[in-house]
Amino acid sequence: MSKGRFMNYNLAPSLLYALLCMTSSCGNATNSHLNETLPILKSGPHGMKFSHIAGGTFQMGSPEGETGRDASVGYPETQHWVKLTNDYWMLTTEVTRGQWHSVTGKEPREDVFCHGRHRHYIVKEFDYPVLCVNTDDIEKFLIDLNQQQENDGYRYRLPTEAEWEFAARGLTETAYSVKGQVESFTWHGGPNNRPHPVAKLRPNKYGLYDVHGNAQEWTSDWAHQYKKADSIDQAIENPKGGAPGTIRMIRSGSWAHPKSFTRSAARLGRPSNQRTITYGFRLVRTTYE
């Protein structure tokens, strides 16, 4: 057993993927993928591109001493073991204004939902992330998308917190999933304090862009505290958050936040009906409910 926070973490990505495929479903990946290195990408509807995320076991949260840890008071990043038993596909970018328009046939309404002092941040270009959306807006978007794609074999939805962090980490154990200067892979508060087009900075090993900053990303989890799971044998399978309420968990940090909020483990709880200029989202698609 690996001593790292990921099982088989020390293996090369292609070998890791092959071993995972021997012990779990590989979704719709073909055998030819076993000899490829990550990312494994597949085109989707409305110009979307998805990355295959093979299920696995990892240590969620951040270690004591990580710079910026627990930046959000009330939602600790306590480390615990989690097991994701199913593969899934994650959108390589935040949902863009162009994709929103393609699915709904309508322009995003940031100018209505985020007005006043935030208006000058709105950029009406199709390669920017959709902003100023709450979870009700997203559910309506997902209803439209799933109805349109009812025969493609997938269900489109928001990721759980665990799915989001597992993918965002990209098989890393560090605060960020990309090596090098933070400014090379994250948009955070500072000189570039504004929204940016998607996929302009470096992606992680899964080919996911902007998991550190740009837009905050809603998850499907209601607010909750992490459960205790100190050993891999106690790993919590497919956690789905707390009981329905008013607060949803949101990830990634944004172009307006300090960089500590853009770490892989950073988590915030926000009213699910709230819209602000930093709120966006990213999709997963699965072959199971």
Q: Is 3 within the bounds of a domain?
A: no
Q: Is 105 within the bounds of a domain?
A: yes
Are 77 and 271 a contacting pair, CB within 8 Å?
Answer: no
CA distance 102 to 125: 13
Number of domains in the chain: 1
DSSP-assigned letter for residue 96 = B
pLDDT mean by block of 10 residues, the chain; 289 residues: 46 40 38 58 98 98 92 85 98 98 90 71 92 95 98 97 98 94 90 91 97 98 96 97 96 95 96 94 91
Task: CATH number of the domain at 102, please.
Answer: 3.90.1580.10
* Amino acid 182: pLDDT: 86
Q: Is 5 within the bounds of a domain?
A: no
pTM assigned to the model: 0.87
Residues of the domain holding 215:
13-286
Q: What is the dihedral of CA 198, 201, 202, 206, to 10 degrees?
A: -10
